[in-house]
Structure formats: structure tokens, C-alpha cells
Amino acid sequence: MKRFTNEFLIGAATAAHQVEGNNVNSDFWAMEHVPGTMYKEPSLDAVDHYHRYKEDIQLLVEAGLNTYRFSIEWARIEPAKGDFNKDEIEHYRQVLEFCHQNNVTPIVTLHHFSSPKWLITEGGWESESTVEYFGDYCKYVVSELGVLIPYICTINEANMGKQIAKIMKRMSGNESTSANKEDSVDVQVGLNVDMKEKMENYFRSVGEAFGIDPRKVQTFLAPRTENGELIIMKCHEKARKVIKEVNPSIQVGITFSLYDHQALPGGEQSAEKEQYEDLLNYLPFLQEDDFLGVQNYSRKIHGPDGIVKPDETTRLTKMGYEYYPEALGNVLRFVAKHWDKPIIVTENGISTDHDEERVEFIERALTGVQQCLDEGINVIGYTYWSLLDNFEWQLGYAQTFGLIAVDRSTQTRYPKQSLSFLGNIKRSGI
């Protein structure tokens, strides 16, 4: 592999709720603790990144990496509607300043799945009022911290609600597919959607936790209506507008969960339909963006009857999807056909108990990125998911995506070979 330029951003990513711990004012915290919860375990202290961020960023720096993508937690900044917490802003100021002191380029995500509990009570991600609420939050953060933030992802995986809705439809038998409807891992972020038996009691408990009709509990990861899809895009447009008003120099983008859709004979229409739903229909809302965040973990193969389930010979990751690092290069080529501005790979990675598999995955994935650069595709960065083994939403702590292992009984960090391997790619190529 050739050497990446000094300007190319290579690093790793995290999300606040998954690593910081004690995000007590968030919707996820509430859902983790209700009777009959669908979560394997609660997040609790997570990996205590809130207090140990310097140690974690230092490990990234010592490996030779120059970029850290992380999220600012809305539920910390605005724990009650209209009540902005100055102490929490100061915390994230310190994180950003530490990045700059160590020549690490921060890429900040303003919303990564988790929301303030009060927002859900107010109608959540199906309510028009969320557009203004999100705009107010973004304006406050950027007014306070914008001078320290070169890149902002407004919303992480804006298409995730639609992907979840499709999975639920597929499981219910209302969509033609050759995949096994009992599969519980079909979403890149690791949401366990095999929840039919417990769902009724769980949603009743969730409704009680938020104090509203359970049918009106609209978290960011709830299956979304078309109106909800539009609200997400309005939130993005509102955020971009206020960010540019406060600090026009900030580069603003959004991220999408994108599979490498491949078609067998007769599957072309199915693949094209999902490509349109995953990305192309969002493009009209992104024309004023500065970059696009691409997040990819695997591929989907489409046949005449829909998505084809991997057979027993297929190499799978710990998450249960196909081990196929070449998907990233294919997705970048697809995106570049429709997007002529910079692209940042904001997530790409693998959950595995065998770090040599992670090393192989990184090498093959970044070979694809290098090939795309050689082809003239405007990729400016890559952040591996994830810096740390962390809380993988409903699946708890069993999944291991991290470049750094954590003993959660002591919070001791154990850097893996894959961390230094990725750093060596940044330093000298391989």
C-alpha cells in the first residue's frame, strides 16, 4: 500500500453514549432501565471515556494517528428543555483543546443516536418542533466551541430509521426476501431487532418512562415515517444554516449507513431500489454541504427474490454479517458517481475476538481507499470504528469493535495490535 499524504486524516471514532458513561438524561438511559428492557445490559459507566479521554486520545496519538471523530452529547448540554449546562460545554472544550494540543484533527458529531429524554416527551423525531430544538442546541454548541471545530457531522446515519423500518417490514413477512426472517443482526450499528415476544410489555414500560402514549415514543432509532424522514433532513438543514451563520469556516456534513449493494442476475432492480433509499433520495437536501460522511461495514447481495442470505461457507463477523472489507471501496465508487465534493469515511470496522482479523480487515479496506484515491475520488479521511471496545446499544458490551480493549472492572486500557497497525499505515503505508 502506498503512503497516504500528510494531509489525509486517519484516526478512529467513538460516540458519547457508547463510551462516556452515566448519560442519565438521555432517552437511551431511560430505555435501558425500564422493566422488561430490550437491552442486554445497561450502559452504566460505559468505558468512562468522559473522565479518561486524555488517556484514550494519547493512545491514539502515540500510535501515529491524527484524527478523532467523537460526538457531543445533547442530553448533557441540554438536560432539560432550554437549560444549557455550562459545565458540560467546558468539558467538551477541554476535549477539543486536548486534541489540538496533540495535533489531532477533531471531527465532531452533534447527534449520534442518543437524545435528551425531554425531547422524546416533546414528540421526538416525528415532531416538527424538533427542528427548532435541534437548531437551538447546535447554535449554542457552535457559538461556544465552533472556533475549535474544523469539521461537523450534524447527524449520524440519518438513514438509520428507514433501514430499521425496512428490517421490521422484512421480519413481518411483508417484503419478499430470501433472507432468514429469524436473523436478529441486520443493522450495521448492532441493533437487535428480534424483539417480537417482548415488544408489547417493553413499549408499555417505555411509554411510562417518558410519560406519554408508547405509540408516540419516537426516538431517533424508531422506525420512521416519511414525515419523520423529512424532519431529519430539516434538522440537518437547520443545523447547517446556524453553524454557517456562527462560523462559516466550519466544514459541515452528515453521515449515512451505506451497504455495498451487489446484484446477481435478476437482482438489479432490488439493489438499485436500496441504493436510492439509502442515499440518493437524500441528495437534494445535501447540496450545500461541504463533505459527506460514509459509513460502511459489509455488503448485501440481491437476487431475483430480494436479499440473499449468506450460506454456511460465508465468512461472518462477530456481528453476524459478511466479512467483506472490499465493500468500502465499492461504496466510495458508488457515492463518487453522485457526489463531487470531499468524502470522509466516518465509520468502517469489524467486531471480532481475533485482532488479526481486524488487522486484515483494515489492510484490505484501506487498500480499497487507496485505489479510490488513485482513481481520483476525493476521499480526505478515514476514521475506524471504534477507538474503544464499547457499549453496542441493545447488544451491550459483548461486541468488540475497538482498537483498544477495556477491562471494565478496572477501566484499564489494553491497546491492540490493530491500533499500531493503523498508525503505521498513517506513518509509512504498508
Q: CB 249: neighbour CB atoms within 10 A?
A: 9
Q: Please give the pLDDT value at position 157.
A: 98
H or E stretch covering 293: strand 291-295
Q: Which residues contact 334 (CB under 8 A, 6 or more apart)?
A: 258, 260, 275
Percent of the chain with pLDDT over 90: 88
The pLDDT confidence band at residue 201, using thresholds 50, 70 and 90, is confident
Q: What percent of the chain has pLDDT over 70?
A: 93
Query: Could you tell me the domains of the chain?
Result: 9-428 (3.20.20.80)
pLDDT at site 179: 41
| Predicted pLDDT at 167 | 74
CB atoms within 10 A of CB 215: 8
Q: What are the angstrom distances between the C-alpha of 268 and each of 164, 167, 176, 262, 271?
A: 22, 20, 15, 8, 5
**What pLDDT, on a 0 to 100 scale, did the predictor assign at position 178?**
47
Helix axes 327-336, 355-374, angle to 10 degrees: 30
Distance CA 323, CA 313 (A): 12
What is the per-residue pLDDT for 174? 60
Q: Mean per-residue pLDDT for 118-147?
A: 98
User: Confidence band (pLDDT; 50, 70, 90) for 428?
Assistant: confident
Alpha carbon distance, N-terminus to C-terminus of the chain: 5
Average pLDDT over residues 331-338: 98
C-alpha cell at 88: 458540560
Whether the per-residue pLDDT at 96 is higher than 50: the answer is: yes
Residue range 274-300: average pLDDT? Answer: 98
Instruction: Give 208's pLDDT tier (boundaries 50, 70, 90).
Output: very high
Distance, CA of 222 to CA of 217 (rounded, Å): 8
Can you tell me the distance from the alpha carbon of 131 to that of 174, in angstroms, rounded to the nearest whole number?
32
Whole-prediction pTM: 0.94
Average pLDDT, the chain: 93
- Provide the pLDDT confidence category of residue 391 given band limits of 50, 70 and 90: very high
Between CA 363 and CA 366 the distance in angstroms is 5
> Measured between alpha carbons, how far is residue 175 from residues 178, 186, 309, 321 in Å?
10, 15, 14, 20
* The three grid cell numbers given for residue 273, joined into one nine-digit string: 431500489
What pLDDT does 360 receive?
98
For residues 223-236, average pLDDT: 95
Considering the candidates 20, 78, 157, 347, report the single residue annotated as catalytic. Answer: 157
> 356-363: long-range contacts (C-beta < 8 A, 24 or more apart)?
356/417, 357/323, 358/403, 358/416, 358/418, 359/417, 359/418, 359/421, 360/325, 361/323, 361/325, 362/325, 362/418, 362/421, 362/422, 362/425, 363/1, 363/325, 363/421, 363/425, 363/430
For the segment 314-325, the average pLDDT, to the nearest whole number, is 97
| pLDDT of amino acid 168 | 73
Question: What's the sign of the alpha-carbon dihedral 42, 37, 82, 222?
Answer: positive
Q: What sign does the CA torsion over 102, 154, 25, 14 have?
A: negative
Determine phi and psi for 149, rounding to 5 degrees: -115, 105
pLDDT (tens digit per residue) in 240-281: 999 999 999 999 999 999 999 999 999 999 999 999 999 999
Instruction: Give pLDDT, residue 183.
Output: 43
Answer whether 50's CB lies under 8 Å from 20's CB: yes
pLDDT at 184: 40
Lowest mean pLDDT segment, chosen from 58-67, 135-144, 176-185, 250-259:
176-185
Identify whether 73 is a catalytic site residue.
no
Alpha-carbon span 190 to 46, nearest angstrom: 16
Phi then psi for residue 178, to 5 deg, are -100, 5
User: Max alpha carbon distance in the chain (Å)?
Assistant: 58
State the pLDDT at residue 197.
59
In sequence order, which residues have a C-beta less than 8 Å from that of residue 358 and are 6 or more positions away? 349, 350, 352, 403, 416, 418
Q: Is the pLDDT of residue 313 over 90?
A: yes
Q: pLDDT category, 196, cuts 50, 70, 90?
A: low
Mean pLDDT of 134-148: 98
**pLDDT for res 199:** 75
Contacts of 91 (CB under 8 A, 6+ apart): 50, 76
The confidence score (pLDDT) of residue 295 equals: 98
Collect all residues with Cβ–Cβ distance below 8 Å to 129 and sequence separation of at least 6: 122, 123
Identity at 71, one-letter amino acid code: S
Q: Does the pLDDT at position 356 exceed 60?
A: yes
pLDDT above 90 for 1? no
Sign of CA dihedral 20, 24, 25, 31: positive
| 221-227 average pLDDT score | 92
Q: Would you state the pLDDT for residue 165?
A: 79
- pLDDT confidence of 429, banded at 50, 70, 90? low
Are 367 and 32 in contact by the 8 Å Cβ rule? The answer is no
